Chains A and B, each alone.
Chain A
Amino acid sequence: MENPEQVFNIIVKTYSERLYWHVRRMVGSHEDADDLLQDIFLKIWTALPTFRGEAQLYTWVWRIATNETLNFLRKEKVRAMLRFSSADDLTVQKVQADPYFNGTAAEREMAKAIARLPEKQRQVFIMRWWDELSYEEIAAITGTSVGALKASYHIAQEKIKLNLSATEVSK
Chain B
Amino acid sequence: MTKRNPISVPEGYFQSLEQRLQQIPVQAAAPRSKVHRFTPYLAYAASLLLLLAVGNFVLRKTAVQEDNGWDYVSYLALSLDPDGLVELKETEELTDEDIRSYLLASNISVEQLTMLSDEEAY
Chain A positions within 8 Å of B, measured between CB atoms, are 4-5, 8-9, 12-13, 16-17, 20-21, 24-25, 30, 34, 37-38, 41-42, 45-46, 98, 100-104, 107-108, 110-111, 129-130, 157, 160-161
* Contact A9 B22, beta carbon cutoff 8 Å: yes
Q: Is chain A's interface secondary structure helix, strand, loop, or mixed overall?
A: helix
Contact at A102–B7, with CB atoms within 8 Å?
yes
- Shortest CB distance A20–B (Å): 7
- The contact sample of 18 A-B pairs, CB cut-off 8 A, is A8-B22, A8-B24, A8-B25, A12-B18, A12-B21, A12-B22, A17-B14, A20-B17, A24-B7, A38-B21, A41-B24, A45-B28, A104-B6, A108-B6, A111-B7, A129-B1, A129-B3, A130-B5
User: When chains A and B are docked, how far (Å) is the Cα of A78 from the Cα of B1?
Assistant: 33
Q: 9 shortest A-B CB distances, which residue pairs? A: A103-B6, A107-B6, A12-B21, A41-B21, A100-B8, A5-B25, A45-B24, A17-B14, A101-B7
In whole Å, how far is A45's beta carbon from the nearest beta carbon of chain B? 5
Contact assessment for A30 and B10 in the assembled complex, using a CB-CB cutoff below 8 Å: yes
Is B61 an interface position by the 8 A CB rule?
A: no
Number of contacts between A and B (CB, 8 Å)? 66
Q: Does B4 contact A (CB under 8 A)?
A: yes
For the complex, give the distance between the alpha carbons of A5 and B8 in Å. Answer: 30
For residue A25, which residues in chain B have a CB less than 8 angstroms away from its CB?
7
Min C-beta distance of B79 to chain A, whole Å: 52
- B28 to chain A minimum Cβ distance, whole angstroms, is 6
Q: Is the CB of A34 within 8 A of B25?
A: no
- Closest residue of chain B to A44 (Cβ to Cβ) is B24
Is B36's beta carbon under 8 Å from chain A?
A: no
